[in-house]
Structure 1
Amino acid sequence: MNALAATSRNFKQAAKLLGLDSKLEKSLLIPFREIKVECTIPKDDGTLASYVGFRVQHDNARGPMKGGIRYHHEVDPDEVNALAQLMTWKTAVANIPYGGAKGGIGCSPGELSISELERLTRVFTQKIHDLIGIHTDVPAPDMGTNSQTMAWILDEYSKFHGYSPAVVTGKPVDLGGSLGRDAATGRGVLFATEALLAEHGKGIAGQRFVIQGFGNVGSWAAQLISEAGGKVIAISDVTGAVKNSNGLDITKLMKHSSENRGIKGFDGGDAIDPRSLLTEECDVLIPAALGGVINKDNANDIKAKYIIEAANHPTDPEADEILSKKGVLILPDILANSGGVTVSYFEWVQNIQGFMWDEEKVNTELKTYMTRGFRDVKEMCRSHHCDLRMGAFTLGVNRVARATVLRGWEA
């Protein structure tokens, strides 16, 4: 099942639990706008190359649409649609005044030079600048993009509209980015995990963690969990996987990964097959890489008691059912990885106010939002007698539906 089908299935289950009117249900599912543009740029060697860019603006009932822009060779309309829809429910679960959007360009960023990436980003911005904006649609970084990408978008957008730092989030701090933004998604994963474990009389300390993915989210989650007393026993990335039953030294692993462009060859543990990582014996499994990695083929072999979805849509619906029958508790992505968009909201607020927060305030507010989000999800679980995923979806869908009706939707 692809990401769009799985996301729509979860939405429809939530709509059924909520008893939504069928016309309202259909209205909430259909995107507000889908944008597809051709981006042609001169390469460094003088040849021309064309790339297709997408922006799906899903819903704006609760505020400006919000979502990342990813550069990846597998970017396609279905994936972007699914992620835009997920952002709508995620911002509602976090209870921040945004809707949902997502964008991307079908390219391989590792094969492009810095100057080629800049030209591509500027052309893409030229094509969509009149459809994004501070109170319309606020992009952010995603897979294959970073703060520098956002700086180029800000600069290009400002040529048309005047200096507008709030038009994107995830910017460099020197251009109005928020302190604590780099660590935000990983820190949010920590706070969400703490809330889930506390519900069962446990804490981070002493728990064994396995993390798939050692990019921005996975590395920050690993570092913060380790600092909180958790034992990270296995980690993988695109280069390989490493395991140490006594706990990996995350600081040394991060240094090795930075110097060697991956964790392969790290001597602080034993190399293992990355395909076996998800089924390692542990207390908490954190998929923090790509979607669809937990499926019907491996769900029966997963030994973790808890799964924290730091990646977007890492668990297929078929796997959900298998894991649920096994008693595995899954903290869904639209809650677990909402720390990034929450601190993006803080950045946007700071830009609009023209007032910078210190990092302690950012982190304190993030913990408040993540803890409150978990509490609100649990309340929906109790009200609708459902699991955490449906608790999160019913919470998000209900908030968007209420805003839609209040703004004047008519059946």
Structure 2
Amino acid sequence: MTRDECVGLGMWMTWKCAVMDLPFGGAKGGIAVNPKELSPGEKERLTRRFAQELRDVIGPNQDIPAPDMGTDPQTMAWLMDAYSMQEGETTPGVVTGKPPVVGGSEGREEAPGRSVAIITQLVCEYYDRQLEDTTVAVQGYGSVGANAARLLDDWGATIVAISDVNGAMYEPDGIDTASVPSHDEEPEAVTTYADTVISNDELLTLDVDVLIPAALGNVITKENAEAIAADLVVEGANGPTTSTADSILAKRDVAVVPDILANAGGVTVSYFEWLQDINRRSWSLERVNDELEAEMQAAWDAVRVKFEQRDVTWRDAAYIVALSRIAEAHEARGLWP
């Protein structure tokens, strides 16, 4: 993790919130440490110290941290508690991604994967593909990848490959995704359940209908973009496709639905969580999921209109929606002092 990476991710979050039409901006921060090497006590102390350092620049009406790589609901609970203890009152709205028992939202952990699945279904419908006839490969089986794979499996798609850091399970006839534990349920276990194991690089170039890179950034590059055999790429991770690879895929007419739309379920349900916190009224899981589906449909519709009107890529269409909304807001507010 570097400062430049945080700047880039903060920019992406700004565009993501604008695409979803959420009243949030965008920022990113982190600690250059490997959380796998920390004991629970060390992780808690580090989180609380980080909260103290951020205290003057965060708040429920100022800047609201949310979880990302290396964090979990417990991390966000510690951050909220550290801030609250310094403020002298419980302030659940200062962060999102908390456990529901301390003001978190039902469905928050699953939300990025759910939005990836929803967008995959919508883009398949757009290209006249029935999910029942669609093969899908998912790189990454953490919170995003596992939830997306399981939902698409439930909705009728054939998940032929899933992976973790050790490699990929490949089953051309389809994987029973519910029988394979996610990273959260059993870390790095995917290949131990596999009859056929291939590499993560091989997964990316499988001859499937839909490829969902849902692990790390910069996995589709100029070195492998020509070998991508999928007709559709739905970005589950942040920044999985380099700019050069994106250009190559566009020239090959491979449709790439960008991360700022596909995985925006996370920040959207973070917004729902914030609403619940400031109103001190929790929502049911059913309501969270229904509201998320409605927001994803609205965002998809806005991007689809620009895609058709402007004859651009899906990524450019999403950026047009986001930047137009940001520009309009700046124009309305003006510049002062």
Q: Indicate the structure with greater strand content.
A: 1
Q: Closer, same or farther in 2 for the Cα pair 1:227/1:379, shift >3 Å? A: same
Aligned partners of 1:256 and 1:266 also within 8 Å: no
2:247 corresponds to: 321
Counterpart of 1:164 (choices 91, 108, 115) is 91
Provide the residue aligned with 2:301 in structure 1.
Answer: 375
1:206 corresponds to 2:133: yes
Q: Distance in 2 between matches of 1:126 and 1:357?
A: 30
Q: Structure 1 residue 266: deviation in Å?
A: 1.4
Aligned to 1:192: 119
Contact 1:187/1:220, CA 8 A, preserved across alignment: yes
Tell me how far apart the structure 1 counterparts of residues 85 and 288 of structure 2 sit (CA, whole Å).
Answer: 30
- Match of residue 354, structure 1, among 280, 305, 327: 280
Give the structure-1-normalised TM-score. Answer: 0.79
Match of 2:330 in 1: 404
Q: CA deviation at 1:145?
A: 0.3
Counterpart residue number, 1:81? 7
Which residue is 1:234 aligned to? 161
Residue among 185, 192, 198 paired with 1:265: 192
Q: Name the CA distance, whole Å, in 2 between partners of 1:357 and 1:252.
A: 29
Q: What amino acid sits opposite 2:74 in the alignment?
A: Q
- Go from structure 1 to structure 2 and tell me whether the alpha carbon gap of 1:132 and 1:259 turns closer, same or farther (over 3 Å shift): closer
Find the aligned partners of 1:260 and 1:89 in 2 and give their Cα distance.
32
Shift of 1:205: 2.0
Gaps of at least 5 residues in structure 2 are none
Equivalent residue for 1:33?
none
Moved over 4 A (4+): none
Shift of 1:256: 9.5
Residue in structure 1 matching 2:108, options 151, 168, 181? 181
Instruction: Identify the match of residue 330 of structure 1 among 256, 269, 277.
Output: 256
* Cα RMSD (Å): 1.5
2:290 paired residue number? 364
Q: 2:142–2:182: 8 Å Cα contact kept in structure 1? A: no
8 Å Cα contact 2:146-2:182 kept in structure 1 = no
Residue 220 of structure 2 aligns to which amino acid in structure 1? Answer: I
Question: Please, which runs of 5 or more residues in structure 1 have no aligned partner?
Answer: 1-74
Instruction: Say whether residues 1:131 and 2:54 are aligned partners.
Output: no
1:255: Cα distance to partner? Answer: 7.0
Counterparts of 1:203 and 1:353 in 2: how far apart (Å)?
A: 41
Query: CA offsets, 1:260-284, max 9 Å, x none?
Result: 64212214x3011222110011000
Give the secondary structure class of the aligned counterpart of 1:101.
coil
* Range with greater deviation from structure 2 (255-264 or 362-371): 255-264
Residue matched to 2:231: 305
Question: Which residue is equivalent to 2:201?
Answer: 275
Distance 2:120 2:188 in 1: 28
Q: Say whether the 8 Å CA contact 1:257–1:263 is kept in structure 2.
A: no
Residue pair 2:141, 2:182 contacting (<8 A) in 1 also: no
Q: Is the 8 A contact 1:238 1:262 kept in 2?
A: no
Match of 1:141, SS?
coil
Q: Percent identity?
A: 44
Quote the Cα distance in structure 2 between the aligned partners of 1:154 and 1:388.
Answer: 37
Tell me which amino acid in the other structure corresponds to 1:295: T
In the alignment, is the contact (CA less than 8 A) between 2:143 and 2:183 conserved in 1? Answer: no
TM-score by length of 2: 0.97
For residues 102 and 183 of structure 2, what CA distance do their matches in structure 1 show? 30
Aligned to 2:142: 215
Number of aligned residues: 336
